[in-house]
Amino acid sequence: MKTRHACILIVLVLGWTNVSRADEEFDRLRARLDEAMKRYHSQFESDAAQAGWRNRATKPDQQVLDRLNAIRGVQNSPWPGFQKEFSEYASAHRGTPEALEAWALTATMSPVLYSDDGYIDSAEATTAIERLCSDHVADPGIDAAMSIIRNRGRFMSFNARETFYKAVETGNKDPELIARARLARADLHLNPMLNGSMAMVVGGEVDAQRVAGEKAKAESILRGLAEEYPQTQAGRTAQARLFKQDRLQVGMKMPGLQGRDVSGKLIRLSQFRGSVVLVVFWKSSSKRSMAMLPELRKAARRFAGKQFTILGVNCEPSRQAYKEIIAKEGLPWLNIFDGDSAKGLIADALHIQSLPAVFLLDEKGTIRYQGSYSEQVEQTIKKLIEKLALTEDAAATQPSD
């Protein structure tokens, strides 16, 4: 009996040692990859600065690109060079959480090869997708693989990614993960750059008919997702996208909204009919919202005295926080409070998911722009005001009966 217990103890110790060794081996492999990518990106930033591309938030002109290419020459990313190592690691530790992550990385590491039908996966990447589908789709941790493939799998084939997401949909039991996989599959059809299909471009021109077909497939997936998994985060995202598509597109009438200003007065969007209106959803905890306020101040000064109104919809978490930020900023335009909720009642009703959100309306309440604030918004405001003034001048010169 003592001998048997000793053997069991030895097996347990060896088993724990192997797991520990597997973790350490994987950590070392990841650390080498991270270090190689860090050096690669650091060199790229240095080369970009030397070429004159200092503001990386903007697209460089052709001269800057030519200088950058001359400086860098042919420098391939070290990412594909690790594919075989991660594949071998995953094979040696099959079924472990580390193998799941290693397979996902392997799937994304193919060199960039493509045919007229899309990107081509290497043999290692194909095996990685097969192993993820056979060994891991039921794992609670499969979301880690989904994140890696979604963020790093730009050059994977469409079929490989769709196969993986479908496997998660049918093989996992977690509604959140199923919904997330379905949303990712909709994105494959919705975005030609994501689905990687070279056939979407014919003779340098986008194949509009095929793009429309892919968009219809994505919409069908989104409507099914919104209906079957409405309580999941991905389901709510699907609802928001569909609402935006059905109700908040340029050329559509903005849904009515109302709220109370800092003094408690009821303000309705409809009372500004006849003027150009900029509706801005914002809150103080959003850095992008606060960075936008100086630009809005400029617009308010530039178009002062014109038929133009800014209506802020503030999404602070409480009425007190709303009053404090309005007092602190001293904004020269109306702001209404969007309810005592984490997201905001109006924002929730309009399925707005990120702040700030900007809607520019013409004098009839029709959406003429929606997105984030930019120079394009100011140009559109100017054109709408000028058009409105011309229309009123023409009406004033019409002979009366």
Percent of the chain at pLDDT > 90 equals 67
Q: What pLDDT, on a 0 to 100 scale, did the predictor assign at position 193?
A: 56
Arithmetic mean of pLDDT, 59-82:
89
Inform me whether the pLDDT recorded for 387 exceeds 70. Answer: yes
Domain assignments of the chain as residue spans, ordered by start: 80-247, 258-394
Q: What is 258-394's CATH number?
A: 3.40.30.10
Rounded to whole angstroms, how far apart are CA atoms 37 and 259? 50
Arithmetic mean of pLDDT, 351-376:
92
Over residues 278-318, the pLDDT tens digits come to: 999 999 999 999 999 999 999 999 999 999 999 999 999 88
Q: What pLDDT, on a 0 to 100 scale, did the predictor assign at position 211?
A: 77
| Confidence grade of residue 345 (pLDDT, cut at 50, 70, 90) | confident
Arithmetic mean of pLDDT, 144-150:
95
Q: What pLDDT, on a 0 to 100 scale, did the predictor assign at position 8?
A: 37
Q: What pLDDT, on a 0 to 100 scale, did the predictor assign at position 23?
A: 81
| Confidence grade of residue 195 (pLDDT, cut at 50, 70, 90) | low
Contact 248, 350 (CB under 8 A): yes
Q: Which residues contact 51 (CB under 8 A, 6 or more apart)?
A: 60, 64, 65, 67, 68, 71
| Confidence grade of residue 214 (pLDDT, cut at 50, 70, 90) | confident
Inform me whether the pLDDT recorded for 192 exceeds 70. Answer: no
Rounded to whole angstroms, how far apart are CA atoms 119 and 39? 27
| Confidence grade of residue 120 (pLDDT, cut at 50, 70, 90) | confident
Inform me whether the pLDDT recorded for 4 exceeds 80. Answer: no
Q: What pLDDT, on a 0 to 100 scale, did the predictor assign at position 114?
A: 75
Q: What pLDDT, on a 0 to 100 scale, did the predictor assign at position 5?
A: 44
Inform me whether the pLDDT recorded for 200 exceeds 80. Answer: no
Arithmetic mean of pLDDT, 163-169:
97
Over residues 6-23, the pLDDT tens digits come to: 443 333 333 444 444 558
